[in-house]
Amino acid sequence: MMSTPSRKNSISRSVRKPKQGPAKTAKSDTRLLDAEQFLLPTYKRQPVVMTHGRGAYVFDSTGKKYLDFLGGIAVNALGHAHPRVVKVIRREAARAIHLSNLFHNAYQGPLARKLAGWSGLDRVFFANSGTEAIDGALKLARLFGRQPDEAPGTTAKKHRFLALENSFHGRTFGAITVTSTEKYRLPFAPLVPGAEFVRFNDVADLEAKFDDTVCGILLEPIQGEGGIYPLSEVFWNRARSLATQHSALLIADEIQCGLGRTGRFFGYQKFSSKPDIALIAKPLAAGLPLGAILTTEEVASRISPGMHGTTFGGGPLACAVALEFLKIVEDEKLLENIRMRGAELRDGLMKLAAKFSFIREIRGEGLMIGVELSIDGAPFVSEAMRRGLLINCTHDFTLRFLPPFIITRAQVREFLRLFEIVLATTPRQIPASDSAKSGDPQRVAHATAR
């Protein structure tokens, strides 16, 4: 059963009637001018101020409504202002927003237990973001690889990381070391030493690069920022067996594809074997910052107090909300909804692919779908926005859809109707040359990938 926000809720009330003056144009809006003057220019932002959301819709400061098929880039899995999330935030904010990891709080333990149940892993460390979880996992892999006779401070024999071409793992130093996109990494060299990239889904390349010096291999079960590319079962299984053979850790980056998005709790659960570490963040606390490292008892046994930590990670407010998020996914049978709505979405997109010849491929699982175009995708994002639809474009040619898990059948239909208009009316630009796509992973036929 999908929930709709409660009318009794006072936060919801204030959200329904936002106080705003007359509509401001982008040029005269002082909030945009301040942002332009005072923020680091790290994003190409759309010139709108988003003010609030309700379920699967977001509203800007002019009152314009958007159907949200981006979900805060896979964060807002319950949409906006879910009444149970709002209730927990209000309750916990009035109790304790932050305590300290020097003490226990009421939610970390129960949340860790629940995540262990979902993942089949044993122990959890709470961080604040995806990239921080990645860096923690790299540290665990180095620790696991270090032999008792290797003195601290020396380079352990087993210190290399393998990651995949076309990967994205975050923005901290460790994470950019294992992120393949050159513009994200090269300006910051020298990076953490020891990382090497394997061609996507290329088992021969994996075998050639895996040896006893590898301490960990990072895999996204479905590459997200890279353009929605699902990892093959053959590749995963080979990575699993090589990691076991060489006593290295298989690390699943589930930050975008995990916690339900594919219709399973974790993306790796479509494979027959488990990773040693799974990393989660984005939807975990329904929009509050929270990430986590999930791992085995064996890996956890290598770490002791003082070796890793965080001030904010695992605070009571975020953990209480995360626990509620996981319960809502179960109570509202959202995995089932994800699978059904995902199938409807793909069926509709396949029909559109038959109509619009510039759609090259449809990839993904559940509610993580990429539509690769043979032409530049950015103009379609702008046109969609103009028509009240939020989507984004990744790797220039792939339109990416990450709608909330609560999306309804009617909203999928609304999306398909809007998206067809967007496809029909957007001026076509720059055909994608093969050379422009040379950085993409090996192309696989995923036209009907489920």
Ligand X SMILES: Cc1ncc(COP(=O)(O)O)c(C=O)c1O
Residue with Cβ nearer ligand X (225 or 372)? 225
Q: Say if CB 134 and CB 189 are below 8 A apart.
A: no
92, 135, 205, 220: which one binds ligand X (CB under 6 A): 220
Of the candidate residues 130, 267, 283, 364, the single one contacting ligand X (CB under 6 A): 130
Selection from 418, 409, 256, 414 nearest residue 339 by Cα:
409
Q: How far apart are CA 21 and CA 130, in angstroms?
A: 37
H helices of 66-159, in order, are: 71-74, 83-93, 108-119, 130-145
Residues between 59 and 88 with contacts to ligand X, criterion CB under 6 A: 73
**Rounded least distance, CB 62 to ligand X, Å:** 28
Beta strands in 264-303 (DSSP E): 277-280, 291-295
Strands (E), 213-248: 214-219, 222-223, 229-230
Q: Which stretch binds ligand X (CB under 6 A): 125-133, 202-210, 349-357, 438-446?
A: 125-133
Contact residue for ligand X among 61, 256, 262, 398 (CB under 6 A) = 256
CB-nearer residue toward ligand X: 402 or 423: 402
- Identity of the residue numbered 149: D
> Closer to ligand X at the Cβ: 292 or 359?
292
Contact between 364 and ligand X by CB under 6 A: the answer reads: no
Give the list of residues 6+ apart from residue 418 with CB closer than 8 angstroms, or none: 67, 384, 387, 388, 389
Distance between CA atoms of residues 130 and 278, nearest Å: 11
What residue has token string 């290329």?
202
Stretch that binds ligand X, among 26-34, 129-137, 237-245, 359-367 (CB under 6 A): 129-137
Q: Is 402 in the site for ligand X (CB under 6 A)?
A: no
Give the span between the Cα atoms of 427 and 174, in whole angstroms. Answer: 40
Of 39 and 424, nearer to ligand X (C-beta) is: 39
For residue 267, state whether it binds ligand X (rule: CB under 6 A).
no
Q: Which residue has the tokens 């036209």?
A: 447
CA geometry: angle at 404 spanning 398 and 410, to 5°? 95
Region of 38-46, 130-138, 205-213, 435-443 interacting with ligand X (CB under 6 A): 130-138
Rounded CA separation 56/67 (Å): 6
Provide, rounded to whole angstroms, the least separation between the CB of residue 223 and ligand X. 7
Judge contact between 262 and 366, C-beta under 8 A: yes
Please, which residue, 213 or 310, has the CB nearer to ligand X? Answer: 310
The single-letter DSSP state of residue 120 is S
- Interaction between residue 253 and ligand X (CB under 6 A): yes
Amino acid, res. 228: I
CA 97 to each of CA 10, 11, 115, 215, 316: distance values in angstroms, whole numbers, following the listed order? 20, 18, 21, 37, 6
Q: Which residues have CB under 8 Å from 427's CB, separation 6+? A: 379
Instruction: Tell me: does residue 255 bind ligand X (CB under 6 A).
Output: yes
Q: What tokens were used for 192?
A: 């953490």
Interface size with ligand X, residues (CB under 6 A): 15
Q: CB nearer to ligand X: give 58 or 280.
A: 280
Cβ nearer to ligand X, comparing 136 with 263: 136
Q: Closer to ligand X at the Cβ: 61 or 256?
A: 256
Report which residue's Cβ sits closest to ligand X.
130
User: How far apart are the two ends of the chain, measured CA to CA in Å?
Assistant: 24
129/262 with CB nearer ligand X: 129
Give the shortest CB-166-to-ligand X separation in angstroms: 11
The one among 169, 264, 341, 346 contacting ligand X by CB under 6 A = 169
CB 281 to ligand X: min, Å:
5
Question: Smallest distance from the beta carbon of 417 to ligand X, in angstroms?
Answer: 29
Q: How far is the CB of 188 from ligand X (least distance, A)?
A: 16
Among 178, 281, 399, 418, binds ligand X (CB under 6 A): 281
Chain residues in the site for ligand X (CB under 6 A): 73, 129-131, 134, 168-170, 220, 224-225, 253, 255-256, 281
